[in-house]
A and B are shown apart, each in its own frame.
Chain A
Amino acid sequence: MKSTPLDRRGALRAGFAATAAAAAGLVVLRAAPAFAQSTASSAGPRVIKMTAHRFAYEPAEVPLKVGEKVVVEINSLDFVHGMNIPDLKTRLDLVPGRITKLELQPMQPGDIEFVCDNFCGDGHETMHGKFVVSA
């Protein structure tokens, strides 16, 4: 998958891959990284704000509920960190100065791990986290 930050085709592919993952019995129904303006509103999905900085995501563990639609808004503070979510076959570049959005609707309990896949320095190896999906 191309890693250019504003790759719409990448977003479409990510959605497809996540759907395929769900069809295979994995955890998440849909994941669509979005870079346009937020469509979340008070009536829309719950918005979860996250920051990425050397060498951590905050929060590193994000609790989610099965069936709940959420939009994760990620703000990178200091580097074009990556966010690779192998279980969803999805990855994002987190460009400082932009809010990168990830739509999720988990359908099964379990952990969905993510990791920085853009080498960001001495500590890169510690930069990972997970969505913790409960029933």
Chain B
Amino acid sequence: MQRRDFLTLSALGGGAVFASGLAGCATRAADAMSGSAAAYDDFYFVQLSDTHWGFQGPPNPDAGGTLRKAVAAVNALDKPPEFIVFTGDLTHTTDDPSERRRRLGEFKSIVADLKVKTVRFMPGEHDASLDRGAAYKEFFGETNYTFDHKGVHFIVIDNVSDPGAKIGDEQLAWLKDDLAKRDKSAPIVVFTHRPLFDLAPKWDWATRDGAQAIELLMPYQNVTVFYGHIHQEHHQMTGHIAHHSAKSLIFALPAPNSQPARTPLPWDPAQPYKGLGWREIEAEKKGTSFDLHEFPVVRA
């Protein structure tokens, strides 16, 4: 069985697969059931997010062990991903610069145990907002960059180093210049920490100038955004652009605007790690559509 078939059949069996853009989901399921899946040579990668290394508190009594369990789970995959991405909040914030660096160093040491060595990072506001990314850069380099993989153009946008959750004019100009080099039909994936759109401004779940980034991306026909920050799965379209948030690896947060405050959901001793997890993202059709497959921290 090809990997694509396996993931699609998992969806048919009640697994948590989300097909980006939605329209292709039924088609792929039908292909799998009829056994007519075409030869598959696309790729998949893994997204982990919001590990908040250094956090301590009742929402996760295993705060020191959850990240290591996720690393072990990714390492146990039958077929390794071609790369792994962490979409920010690698560490939990602290006022102490030396403690911030200690946490960043410990995080880096733990994820060095990942068997897959191509790992992409970006900061969250907990990593970077209090010092505008200074400590983060010492450990992980630039906070915005691009890379290409099998014909897909990946753009990492930093919307956290400014404590006001702004991308900023300079980075927007950089984005505009980079996009100008792309064909309008090019497959483009954006990684960022905060939602680029106004998901829940009352909970500070937004990017102040995110609309400008979306406006720059809008002329491109195949754009998908993966982000973190909100500690839960969420899927939303802005026009033809799909935005997918990832679960956290420290604590879950409530659904947007579902209660007065965005307080962490309590740890459930009967269901440890409930609401936490990571995902596989399978690129199909040369990176113009994606299948998302959600995994728990610990498999039952």
Which residues in B have their C-beta under 8 angstroms from that of A82?
A: 164
Given contacts A82-B164, A121-B93, A128-B261, are A116 and B130 in contact (CB under 8 A)?
no
Contact A122 B262 (CB under 8 A): no
Interface residue range, chain B: 20 to 34
> Which among A1, A3, A113, A119 is the interface contact of B130 at CB below 8 angstroms?
A119
| B201 close to A3 (CB less than 8 A) | no
Query: Is A115 in contact with chain B by the CB < 8 A criterion?
Result: yes
Q: Cβ of B137 < 8 Å from any Cβ of A? A: no
Residues of B within 8 A of A80 (CB): 163
Give, as a whole number of angstroms, the nearest-CB distance from A96 to chain B: 14
A122 and B93 in contact (CB under 8 A), knowing A117-B164, A117-B165? yes
Which A-B residue pairs are the 6 nearest by beta carbons?
Answer: A119-B129, A86-B201, A119-B125, A119-B163, A118-B163, A122-B93
Task: Confirm or deny: B247 has a beta carbon within 8 angstroms of a beta carbon on chain A.
Answer: no
Does any Cβ of B come within 8 Å of A120's Cβ?
Answer: yes
Starting from the known contacts A122-B95, A126-B261, 10 additional A-B residue pairs (CB-CB under 8 Å) come to A3-B164, A86-B198, A93-B164, A117-B208, A118-B165, A119-B163, A120-B163, A121-B93, A122-B94, A125-B204
Collect the chain B residues with CB atoms within 8 Å of residue A119's CB. 93, 125, 129-130, 160, 163, 165
A94 to chain B, nearest CB (A): 12
Min CB gap A111→B, angstroms? 9
Shortest Cβ gap from B90 to chain A (Å):
15
- B63 to chain A minimum Cβ distance, whole angstroms, is 14
Cβ contacts B81-108/A at 8 Å (1 or 0 each)? 0000000000011110000000000000
Whether, in the assembled complex, B117 has its beta carbon less than 8 Å from a beta carbon of chain A, the answer is no
Task: Determine how close the nearest CB of chain B comes to the CB of A75; give it in whole angstroms.
Answer: 19
CB interface residues, B 108-141, toward A, < 8 Å: 125, 129-130
Residue of A with least CB distance to B95: A121
User: Chain A residues near B94 (CB, 8 Å)?
Assistant: 122
Contacts of B129 in A (CB 8 A): 119
Taken residue by residue from 88 to 121, chain A's Cβ proximity to chain B (1 for < 8 Å, 0 otherwise) reads as 0000010000000000000000000101111111
Cβ of A84 within 8 Å of any chain B Cβ, yes or no, is: yes
Give the complex CA separation of A104 and B263 in angstroms.
29
* Cα–Cα distance between A117 and B262 once the two chains are bound (Å): 13
A84 in contact with B204 given A119-B125, A121-B130 (CB within 8 Å): yes
